[in-house]
């Protein structure tokens, strides 16, 4: 028994005598509103088997370089506060600290020119969550909520870092590198 029906996807479904579904897709190649004889264009159904298996190959690719877990994490401005949490951290030489900006409008500076409270061990290079590579440094450049900054500490000693615009309000952190 043969039957023809229209699917919700706009395909014609033809069931042949052996009860196998055969899909038919109507296609039109509109070159003009009329065909070559000047008659309105019509759709011509073509029979296609209902299920066609297409071999697929799964290709797994890494889309980003995995970042190693930080040795310590400091929250910057948690809950919109003017503080680092924890305010005091101890790590080992060669450890990486990740500063997570939980609220915007802050920065992290270990640059003595940024604020008088910044203290670094002798011979340590300045560091900051903002660009300090030029001579014209903007020490009040701010980070947005949700961003992170990482720094690896190679020199042992006591560090004092600040959020430059909020240091006068007590947003000062301390770090001991053993």
pLDDT digits (tens, 9 = 90+) for 140-159: 999 999 999 999 999 999 99
Taking all residues of the chain, what is their mean pLDDT, rounded to a whole number?
79
63-71: which pairs have CB atoms within 8 A and are 24 or more residues apart? 68/96, 70/96, 70/97, 70/98, 70/150, 71/95, 71/96, 71/97
Q: pLDDT at position 37, please?
A: 56
Domain residue extents for the chain = 3-49, 72-177
pLDDT digits (tens, 9 = 90+) for 59-109: 444 445 556 889 999 999 999 999 999 999 999 999 999 999 999 999 999
Q: pLDDT at position 29, please?
A: 45
Count of CA atoms in the C-beta half-sphere (13 A) of 118: 19
Q: Are strands 127-128 and 96-101 parallel, antiparallel or unpaired?
A: unpaired
pTM above 0.75, yes or no: no
User: What's the CATH fold of domain 72-177?
Assistant: Immunoglobulin-like (2.60.40)
């Amino acid at each position: 028994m043969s039957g023809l029906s229209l699917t919700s996807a706009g395909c014609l479904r033809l069931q042949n005598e052996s009860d196998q579904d055969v899909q038919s897709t109507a296609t039109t190649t509109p070159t003009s509103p009329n065909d070559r004889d000047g008659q309105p264009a019509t759709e011509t159904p073509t029979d296609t088997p209902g299920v066609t298996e297409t071999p697929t190959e799964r290709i797994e690719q890494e889309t980003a370089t995995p970042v190693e877990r930080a040795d310590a994490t400091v929250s910057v401005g948690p809950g919109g506060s003017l503080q680092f949490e924890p305010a005091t951290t101890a790590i080992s030489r060669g450890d990486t600290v990740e500063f997570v900006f939980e609220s915007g409008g802050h920065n992290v500076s270990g640059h003595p020119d940024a604020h008088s409270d910044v203290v670094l061990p002798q011979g340590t290079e300045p560091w900051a969550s903002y660009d300090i590579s030029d001579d014209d440094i903007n020490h009040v450049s701010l980070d947005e909520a949700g961003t992170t900054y990482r720094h690896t500490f190679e020199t042992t000693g006591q560090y004092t870092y600040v959020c430059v615009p909020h240091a006068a309000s007590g947003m000062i952190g301390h770090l001991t590198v053993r």
